[in-house]
Amino acid sequence: MLQLLWLIPAIPFLGALILALVGRAFSRRMVAVVGVGSVAIAAGISLAIVPAALALQAPYTQVLWTWMNVAGFRPEIALYLDPMSFLMILVVTFVGFLIHLYSAESMEQDEGYSRFFAYMNLFVGSMLVLVLADNLLLLYLGWEGVGLCSYLLIGFWYKDSANGLAARKAFIVTRVGDTAMLIGLFLLFHNLGTLQIQDLMHRASVQWPAGSPYAIAAAALLLGGAVGKSAQLPLQTWLPDAMAGPTPTSALIHAATMVTAGVYLIARTHVLYSLAPQVQFAVAVVGAATLLLAGFSALTQPDIKRVLAYSTISQIGYMFLALGVGAWAAALLHFMVHAFFKALLFLAAGIVIDALHDEHNIFRMGGLRKELPIAFWTFLIGGCSLAGLPLVTAGFFSKDLILWNAWASPHGGLGLWVVGIAGVLLTALYTFRVIFVVFFGTRNTPVTHRPRYRVIVPVAVLAALSLVGGLVKAPLLAFLNSALPALVEVRAGFLTELLSAIVSGLAFATGLGSAYLFFIRKRQYADALAASSAGRRLHAFWLADWAFDWFYDRAFVRPVVWMAAINRRDAIDSVFNAIAWLNRSAHFTLSRSQTGSLRWYAAVIGAGAVIFAGVILLA
């Protein structure tokens, strides 16, 4: 069965290729069959190899192609399947499939239907290459592939220049991180002589002592790439603007592909981080800071999709926190659960947005509980899972594990734990703010469109997964820990796992209660709080994402634009023009020698003979 592995990324690529080449000629139905079908087949194969993958004793490597073998240079394209990459492909293909199915209906009226599915398939294919790569170079190819696809999809409605701007922002900001990562790859290759991940990790642990400056530099540079792709501090600014794309795109970016790439990268290269404890601690700090900052920003957003965007940043912050304390498996568990409920939330939000004729502002929604019961119940389930409703939702189990590990891990501590608990409170608050404002209260906008089965089925399946996903916690952790080092709990102290869970449940209840108070019972409290001078300032500050954009604009964008403006006639260009001129002159000079006359040709041969004889005699 495992021989089919290569088909999992190949089929989405094939789908993208077919749609890109002949998609224009297809009917909408045909486009949907190819676009959704390719990911469905990939998901089917992933499911089919489950027994084989579970029975796997050692990681499975499939060499697809050895390009050449010259002078010790032997580039190989190979896929690497271990519990970690297996979990990733399972989630990517399955959630990706549900999102594709949803899109088949929700994008039906769009004129770029086949273009949309071509990009989406390419996106899924690139992500699969990223997670299956056994070599950092191939991983980087997938990495750039998802970057490209996110650019294409965020700017999908390119006729509106604001969307193009958002797409470019996403591309350029993540590019900053990509550059850091590329330098990291150079560093690793230069010092360890390979980019083959397992070899690399082995050599790093043999050649570099813990705390070695090389390990620190390499881990930090890779972290730079990870914070770019995963929208963590300080490169998180692109993700909220990325909401310019179609809603299924957002679901795909946030749930199955792209933003989790950073988490995967760090987990994949965890040996490096173990060798560089400072950087690993930085990962935890980045995660903790991001989850708080994004949580506050989410509180103030009026756009339903932007709230969800900030919640993604915040939840990825939890994953980084887990990675930072060495709870690799917990991070991946939360990744999986997050993929379920975040895809669900986006898709449910998409139903609402479509129903209200593309209305994004939550304050113009309201009272949709009865009108759109499907959207209400699924969004409620997703929201509960996101906020971590104790005992019944998957989100509670995964987040709870992270919180406990943040305390119990040798790298953890009280500070990280407290931040995590504060995050739970914030999450509950902003989540139920949206739920109460959108689905309760008075109806502000009439419902014009209702979902059909291709939309309902995916959200229903995802809702079920968001609830029961936590049940697989124990076996999944055991499965993952066969590939990743398990966390050693060192700290017990006054805090026990049960107590931590109770505190996080209380935090959830507090958040829920405050949201109820502010947005159902006493709306005027919330308004008064926001209207007070301090409240107004804070609101504006958080709404603008802690003024990061403002700062980056002044610190980086404007100086660069300014420099570009004064260097309009690029001075460096003249160097290249000079080279071109030199070549042209040489061409015309030499051309004059091709006279076409026989005696001249013969004379040159004779002259050549004389000169070479002279060279041999004199040398």
Residues near other proteins (CB under 8 A) are: 65-71, 73, 583-584, 586-588, 590-591, 593-594, 596, 598, 600-602, 604-605, 607-609, 611-613, 615-617, 619
Instruction: Tokens 């019961």: give the residue.
Output: 373
The nearer residue to other proteins, 206 or 590, going by C-beta atoms, is 590
Residue 21: CB atoms within 10 Å: 10
The nearer residue to other proteins, 498 or 617, going by C-beta atoms, is 617
What Cα–Cα distance (Å) separates residue 539 from each residue in 79, 311, 542, 543? 48, 17, 5, 6
Q: How far is the CB of 168 from other proteins (least distance, A)?
A: 28
Amino acid at 482: S
Q: How far is the CB of 610 from other proteins (least distance, A)?
A: 9
Sign of CA dihedral 20, 22, 25, 28: negative
Query: Would you call 60 helix, strand, or coil by DSSP?
Result: strand
Q: How far is the CB of 576 from other proteins (least distance, A)?
A: 12
What Cα–Cα distance (Å) separates residue 87 from each residue in 277, 327, 334, 444, 446? 26, 16, 12, 43, 42
Q: How far is the CB of 62 from other proteins (least distance, A)?
A: 17
The nearer residue to other proteins, 485 or 606, going by C-beta atoms, is 606
Q: How far is the CB of 431 from other proteins (least distance, A)?
A: 49
CB 258 within 8 A of CB 229: yes
Q: How far is the CB of 169 from other proteins (least distance, A)?
A: 32
The nearer residue to other proteins, 568 or 587, going by C-beta atoms, is 587
- Alpha-helical regions (H) of 482-547: 497-516, 523-531, 533-543
Q: How far is the CB of 604 from other proteins (least distance, A)?
A: 5
The nearer residue to other proteins, 556 or 600, going by C-beta atoms, is 600
Q: How far is the CB of 137 from other proteins (least distance, A)?
A: 14
The nearer residue to other proteins, 534 or 615, going by C-beta atoms, is 615
CB 102 within 8 A of CB 348: no
Closest CA to 293 of 244, 227, 341: 227
Q: How far is the CB of 608 from other proteins (least distance, A)?
A: 4
Q: How far is the CB of 597 from other proteins (least distance, A)?
A: 9
Backbone phi, then psi, for 77, in 5-degree steps? -110, 120
CB 233 within 8 A of CB 289: yes
The nearer residue to other proteins, 468 or 586, going by C-beta atoms, is 586
Q: How far is the CB of 579 from other proteins (least distance, A)?
A: 9
Q: How far is the CB of 141 from other proteins (least distance, A)?
A: 13
Amino acid at 485: P
Alpha-carbon span 145 to 129, nearest angstrom: 9
Closest CA to 218 of 183, 263, 194: 183
The nearer residue to other proteins, 54 or 586, going by C-beta atoms, is 586
Query: Taking the CA of residue 119 as centre, how many other CA atoms within 13 Å lie in the half-sphere pointing to its CB?
Result: 22
Sign of CA dihedral 297, 299, 305, 309: positive
Q: How far is the CB of 575 from other proteins (least distance, A)?
A: 15
CB 247 within 8 A of CB 153: no
The nearer residue to other proteins, 145 or 240, going by C-beta atoms, is 145
The nearer residue to other proteins, 55 or 71, going by C-beta atoms, is 71
The nearer residue to other proteins, 25 or 598, going by C-beta atoms, is 598
Q: How far is the CB of 584 from other proteins (least distance, A)?
A: 7
Residue 358: CB atoms within 10 Å: 10
Residue 559 region, left (φ>0) first, then alpha (ψ -120 to 50), else beta?
alpha
Backbone phi, then psi, for 76, in 5-degree steps? -130, 145
Amino acid at 595: T
The nearer residue to other proteins, 70 or 534, going by C-beta atoms, is 70
SS (H, E, C) 248-310: HHHHHHHHHCHHHHHHHHHHHCHHHHHHCHHHHHHHHHHHHHHHHHHHHHHHHCCEHHHHHHH
Residues 141, 180, 547: CA angle, nearest 5 degrees: 115
CB 64 within 8 A of CB 10: no
The nearer residue to other proteins, 474 or 603, going by C-beta atoms, is 603
Query: Would you call 101 helix, strand, or coil by DSSP?
Result: helix
DSSP string covering 45-97, please? HHHHTHHHHHT-SS-EEEEEEE---BTTB--EEEEEE-HHHHHHHHHHHHHHH
Alpha-carbon span 309 to 306, nearest angstrom: 5
Using DSSP bridges, classify how beta strands 60-66 and 76-81 pair: parallel, antiparallel or unpaired: antiparallel
CB 136 within 8 A of CB 200: yes
The nearer residue to other proteins, 540 or 586, going by C-beta atoms, is 586
The nearer residue to other proteins, 65 or 494, going by C-beta atoms, is 65
Q: How far is the CB of 23 from other proteins (least distance, A)?
A: 19
Alpha-carbon span 434 to 304, nearest angstrom: 7
CB 398 within 8 A of CB 303: no
Tally helices (H) and strands (E) across the chain: 28, 2
